[in-house]
Amino acid sequence: MNILLLIIICIITLIGAVYAGYVRDPYAKLIGIGVIGGGVMPLIIARGYADVAAALAVIIPLSTVFVLQLCRKGEP
């Protein structure tokens, strides 16, 4: 993998992690976690773990739906 591309993907992942760590709104945290997933996915594929990437492509959206349902339960 190109070193510049690797650095850009790592920066995207770090931006998502910092954003998810500092924001207080649970819906905004999901955006940060989505950015983390978008940054980690190319790294997983680059290492040759296409089966793990396929599993994550299914698990990440499903977990997002469950977290959104949990967030709605806390609202009046």
pLDDT in tens, 18-55: 998 899 887 888 888 888 888 888 888 888 899 998 99
Q: Residue 32: inside a domain, yes or no?
A: yes
Q: Residue 73: inside a domain, yes or no?
A: yes
Q: Residue 39: inside a domain, yes or no?
A: yes
State residue 51's pLDDT score. Answer: 92
Give the rounded distance of the alpha carbon of 8 from its chain centre. Answer: 15
Containing domain of residue 36, as a range?
A: 27-76
Q: How far apart are CA 64 and CA 15, in angstroms?
A: 19
State residue 75's pLDDT score. Answer: 61
Structurally, how many domains does the chain consist of? 1
Q: Residue 16: inside a domain, yes or no?
A: no
Q: Residue 15: inside a domain, yes or no?
A: no
pTM here? 0.73
Q: Residue 21: inside a domain, yes or no?
A: no
Which 3 state secondary structure label does DSSP give 36?
helix
